[in-house]
Structure formats: C-alpha cells, structure tokens
Amino acid sequence: MNTQLMAGIPFLLLIVGALATRRIIEPAVISSVAAVAMLAGADFMTVYIEKMYQVLTDESFQLLVIVGTGFAGMSALLEKSGATLGFRRILEKFCKTRAATLFCTWLLGAVIFIDDYLNALAVSESMKGISDKMRIPREHLAYTVNCMGACVCVLLPVSSWAAFAVSCAAGHGMGMKEYLAAVPLMFYPIYAIIISLLLTAGKLPKLGTLKKAYDRAECGGPLLENSVKMPKDAKEPVKAASPRHFLLPMAALIVGMLAFGQNIIAGMLTGLAVMAVMLLLEKRMKLNDILDTFTAGASTIMPLLITMYVTFIMEAAVEEMGFMTYLTGLISRTFPAWSIPLIAFVSVASITFFAASFWSLIVIAFPIFLPMAVRMGVNPSLVIAAIMSGVALGSQACLYSDAIFMVAAGTDVPNDTQFKTALPYVLIGAAAAAVTYGAAGLWMQW
C-alpha cells in the first residue's frame, strides 16, 4: 500500500477514537504517538521531542495559544466584573422566546464578523446565560455559533480570512476585485448560514443529536451532557455592571484589530487595556484582582490547548510523511474544465476536514487551481469561491478544528458532540453546494 496514503491512519485513529470514547484529548495523544512512530520508527523519542519544539515555533499554534488564553481571561474579567451580566440583561429584553434567543445568537454571529475566534468566544459569552434560561440545549447554541464563524468571515472582505485570501491571490495577479466577485458564488457558507437561520426559525426539522438534545431538555434533563467543564452556578455572583463595560472593550477590540492591519492579537490587547482602565478608574476591581481573575480564566482553556498541541504534533508528522502531498496530487490531476469548481470544492473540503488545516490549505490550493482555471478558461472568481467554501466547510465540520475548540471553550460543548450535532446540516449544505458548483461549471462552459 502507498506509504503516503497510510500516513492518513493517525487521522482515522483520532476521528474514530473521539467518536467512540466521546473524548478528544486521549485519542489526540494516541494519534500523535502513532504518527511520530510511523515517521521515525526506533528514533521515536528524539523525533517526538523535535516535533514538540517545532509546534511551539509554529505561528498558527502560537496564535491559538495567545488568542485562546487571552479571550478566556477576558471572558473571566467580563463575567466577574458584572459586564457580561449587564449586557445580558439588555439582550434579555429582546429574547423573550426560544426563537428570539436563537435569532439573536444568529444575528450576533453575523455582526461580529472580523474574526472567527472573536465570533466564537464573544457570542458564546453573550448568549450562554440567556440560552440556558430559555431551556435551549447547549448543542443548538454551539451549532449556531460555529456555523456563523468561518462561514460569515469568508463572505465579508474586511475579515481576517478575506485579507489572507486576497494576499494569497495577489501572487497570481488577482486581488480584491476577484474576491468580491467570488463572494456571491461562495455557495456553501451561504447555504450554511441560511440553514442555520431556518433551523432557528423552526422551519427545518431537528435531526439526530440535536433532536435528542431537545427531547432531553423538554423532559427536564440537563441542557448539556458530558460538558467540557463543570457548568457555573446559575446564581448571579456579582452585581450587574453597565452594558458599556461589555460594549466598550468589544468596540476597542474591533477598532484595535482594524487599526493594526486586522491583527486579532492587537485587538485583544487593546480591548483588555480598555477594560482594565475602566475597572480601575471606576474602582470595580483592584489591579491584583484583575490579574488574578485573568490568569484564573486563562487556565480554564489549558486542557484544550494541550489537545491542540498534540494534534499539531500529529499533523506535522503526517505532513512530513507526505499525506498532504499525496492527496493534493491525487485530486489535482486533469479534469474536464466544467468540473474544476466542483473538484476544488470537494477536494479542499475533504482535505481540511481530515487535516484541520485551513489557511495553509488556501496557500496550497490557490497555486494549484487558479492557474488551472486560467489555463482552461474557467472563471477564477468561481474557483476562489469554491476553495473558500471548502475551507469554511472544513473549519465548521472538522472534529478537531481550531474553530470547534474555540466554540467548546465558549459553550462547554465537547468537540464530538458539536460534530454529531452539525453533521446532518453540514451534509445538506455540502450536497447543495456540490450540485451548484457542478451546475455553475456546466453553465459557464455551455
């Protein structure tokens, strides 16, 4: 059997193990060990340690650590200072029913579009308490938050995702003009957002895990089983602060991010600085309380960071064995011109689903499919749209994607539960997008 193809075994171990055990950290550790053992053999220990250092220097992992701990600490400050409670009480005026609460969650996901990390954590923190009061299963909250993450980010040209994609397209003589033309052709994120809205409005049936979750909640059961961490006490431990204590740091975060070239870390630091100044000037918290609360909040994300760390080790070993190269070569052979958008969507979605590699997949896919499109007379914007659709699908559906980890941190819903909840709706959107890309390719060649 092709050794490059066999390099995909650790991915299967992770997926099957997570679904079978309903946990993620143990299968992730086992998969990382298996990947490095396949790569290094008897030299396992030396190579594993090398991969540990390699991952620590990986910019994507560094971003996850900084953003993950930063937002977890920021969420703890918002909670303890009463800012989240104050903002929640404003939202509660509009969230009188389940449908209104879910629609508010969906709308916030559309409004907070700058970055999917910010989207996941800010929306979760804002809506979790209200959602619980309305007896909405956490699974539905997590699905809505996750769906409105990358799917919204790829559709808006001012997001971090779009900025990165445009910079990659520039290397092929394309830019914002082609990206803007691609936006209405990004069928999967458009379908996914519509599906989420219809589900929110009760116009689509609840399927699979989501139906079981609602049945459980209707019978007076817990809103979430097997949570990532123990749920917080339902009592209000602090006095509600003015909504400005929530809104101003969030606004500062967005302004800071835009001011520093859509840098999410710069935005996060700006938001934290504004929050700290407000708390100190109004004497709501002392400096030592601010730091203690921040570090305590940041520590809650440590299990997720460890899981991501060993997952990155597995990915690094699998990539070195040539699995990504094999898949890319397999799916980029000569196809009829009309099928290029369809092939780009399906292949990118498949690779991102298994490899949990999103922005790096954009770097790989653009040089393969964009020249192919130009050479074969296919609209490049349609191909850009297909690639970004595939990346958005992978980010939403991959069991161990950074997006799902962030949603888990914000909603306490485990990765495998998110995956099983979203799967029926992801498949509906993916099938519709695949048919549309095939039809669009045929239409443009006709």
Q: Report the C-alpha gap between 153 and 115 in whole angstroms.
A: 6
Is residue 415 within 8 A of residue 403, CB to CB? The reply is no
Of residues 59 and 180, more confidently modeled: 180
In the predicted model, what is the mean pLDDT of residues 291-320?
84
Of residues 218 and 368, more confidently modeled: 218
- For the beta carbon of residue 57, count every other beta carbon within 10 angstroms: 8
Q: Cα 203 to chain center, whole Å?
A: 25
Cβ within 8 Å of residue 22, ≥6 positions away: 226, 414, 416, 417
Of residues 35 and 247, more confidently modeled: 35
Q: Which structure tokens are listed for 425?
A: 């709706």
What pLDDT, on the 0 to 100 scale, is given for residue 407?
84
Cβ within 8 Å of residue 66, ≥6 positions away: 265, 268
- For the beta carbon of residue 391, count every other beta carbon within 10 angstroms: 28
pLDDT exceeds 70 at position 346: yes
What pLDDT, on the 0 to 100 scale, is given for residue 112?
67
In the predicted model, what is the mean pLDDT of residues 250-261?
83
pLDDT exceeds 60 at position 228: no
What pLDDT, on the 0 to 100 scale, is given for residue 120?
74
Is residue 332 within 8 A of residue 347, CB to CB? The reply is yes
Is residue 384 within 8 A of residue 143, CB to CB? The reply is no
- For the beta carbon of residue 380, count every other beta carbon within 10 angstroms: 21
| Closest among 15, 77, 16 to 272, alpha carbons compared | 77
In the predicted model, what is the mean pLDDT of residues 173-190?
89
What pLDDT, on the 0 to 100 scale, is given for residue 191?
96
pLDDT exceeds 60 at position 92: yes
What pLDDT, on the 0 to 100 scale, is given for residue 259?
87
Q: Cα 63 to chain center, whole Å?
A: 14
Comparing 111-125, 184-198, 309-323, which segment has the lowest mean pLDDT? 111-125
The per-residue pLDDT of the chain, averaged, comes to: 82
Q: Report the C-alpha gap between 269 and 273 in whole angstroms.
A: 6
Q: Cα 179 to chain center, whole Å?
A: 21
| Closest among 67, 236, 209, 219 to 138, alpha carbons compared | 209
pLDDT exceeds 80 at position 197: yes
Q: Report the C-alpha gap between 350 and 162 in whole angstroms.
A: 21
pLDDT exceeds 90 at position 297: no
